[in-house]
Chain A
Amino acid sequence: MACAVSTEFDLDAAWQLAPQVQVRPERFGALLYHFGTRQLSFLKSPALLTVVRGLAAQPSARAACQAADVPDTQLPSYRRALGTLAAAQMICPREVA
């Protein structure tokens, strides 16, 4: 459980999907399952799935949102959604070399 839990999600930090998490795409978005905590989470839109999948390849969560064409006006709601995923340990901070 190396994931930090923070109420203020840092859009400018580097993030990734947690190692024990599997993603199953669904019509509405995706299901996430954490084999460590045995918790399910839901991604409520395909766009959010694109963002989450892009996290590991982007220098920051903000960059992952931009790469997924998330309009700036929607950034606050994406930030909330990512914060919820971080609190559930579904995504975690990534060490940047």
Chain B
Amino acid sequence: MSAGTLPLVEQFSYGLDAPICLTWELTYACNLSCVHCLSSSGRRDPGELSTAQCRAVIDELQRMQVFYVNIGGGEPTVRPDFWALLDYATGHDVGVKFSTNGVKITPAIARRLAGHDYVDVQISLDGATAAVNDAVRGPGSYAVALRAMRHLADAGFAGFKISVVMTRHNAGQLDEFQSLADSFGAQLRLTRLRPSGRGADVWDQLHLTAAQQRKLYDWLVAHGDRVLTGDSFFHLSGYGAALPGLNLCGAGRVVCLIDPVGDVYACPFAIHPAFLAGNVRDPGGFARVWRESELFAGLRQPQSGGACESCAAYGSCRGGCLAAKFFTGLPLDGPDPECVHGHGEHALATADTAAVPRPAGDHSHRTSPRGPVPLTLSRRPPVSECNANPLAGFVPPGR
């Protein structure tokens, strides 16, 4: 507006006093075991932030004027204090958008949510049909999500979000997803599959083909005003016209992640020591991590486009997603693995696969989450309290 100011996107690349888009994963516990879970969730971490510590974080977000947080997990609603924390946040000028698989959205909870001014709900669904969804999110998860949507719609919760991670198997269902959203008065949200968490193990099989990326881009250009994307497809802007949004990797600049134990990472898709900036329990709390961490200071420096700088599309795609490059073993100053001009495929073909960094912190269920494992307890008493001989009490057969 006035002379001499940089374009907004340039301003944002130098960082803000507080994040615009803060993701806070409240727990690694989850009733599901989605194959592409970006945080490898399943089991609760015993070092999870306590209720009091979560309240302290919310107080700090209020002081920093973080207008809203995106709460996820894990499945955040399995925390017994989740609803109390939600009330605490909205009572302290911090709006809440939370992602859930729907497991705790009963009719009563749906009515309670519908009465909340500052709460948004995102129901995760990765297939417009049970077959496509359940292959990724687990048996029965489609039915649970649809039940939650029905409860929200019945309670009069208008405009909740249906949040879809785009995969090779649901890419052809865009119109079906839109119809489903319309039937509930909901809004569709599409996001990109990243090779993060357990996603690293399935990315090769599930990420969009080049032809599917092109179709998605065309669909977003045609319908983008109705659909949310969390700015996650900015690498597709390399096709031509930029998609709505900042078209910028926001990691450590406008975006960051607080994980269940309070660790602060540059972005929700970068749970790895290389992107760990600090912990909310450190002296100075979250504000100090955000404002003073060396890692974030580095991300806010002008970034080199490296191999991409000579490409005509670099101005629009900006080299794509940091996390997608990192977890596929590509240099951070080169093309995105899903570069729309094919430079990523070439880079992947020549990348050192042995050196690909593994996502940190596996919280996956050690068994599938279907209840307790049946154990048969031996009723044979010990031979004696202290006989350490491994053959004690062993009687060879035939004697």
Binding site for B on A (CB under 8 A): 22, 24-29, 31, 33, 35-36, 38, 40, 42, 44-45, 47-48, 74, 77-78, 81
A27/B65 in contact, CB under 8 A:
no
Chain A CB within 8 A of B118 CB: yes
Q: B11's closest neighbor in chain A, by CB?
A: A28
One digit per residue, 1 when the CB lies within 8 angstroms of any chain A CB and 0 when it does not, for chain B 89-133 equals 000010100000000000000000000011010000000000000
Q: B12's closest neighbor in chain A, by CB?
A: A28
One digit per residue, 1 when the CB lies within 8 angstroms of any chain A CB and 0 when it does not, for chain B 8-43 equals 100100101110100000000000000000000000
B16/A26 in contact, CB under 8 A:
yes
B14 neighbours in A (Cβ, 8 Å)? 27
B1/A35 in contact, CB under 8 A:
no
Chain A CB within 8 A of B2 CB: yes
Partner of B95, one of A26, A28, A38, A45: A38
- A44-B8 in contact given A22-B65, A38-B95, A81-B1 (Cβ < 8 Å): yes
Chain A CB within 8 A of B83 CB: no
Separation of A22 and B95 alpha carbons in the complex (Å): 12
Contact residues on B (Cβ < 8 Å of other chain), bracket: 10 to 19
A28/B6 in contact, CB under 8 A:
yes
B20/A31 in contact, CB under 8 A:
yes
Shortest beta-carbon contacts, A-B, top 3: A33-B67, A28-B11, A24-B65
Chain A CB within 8 A of B378 CB: no
Chain A CB within 8 A of B350 CB: no
Chain B: minimal CB distance from A37 (Å): 11
B68 neighbours in A (Cβ, 8 Å)? 33, 38
A42/B8 in contact, CB under 8 A:
yes
A44 neighbours in B (Cβ, 8 Å)? 1-2, 5, 8
A31 neighbours in B (Cβ, 8 Å)? 16, 20, 67
A38 neighbours in B (Cβ, 8 Å)? 68, 95, 120
Most chain B CB within 10 A, of A24, A77, A78, is at A24
A47 neighbours in B (Cβ, 8 Å)? 2
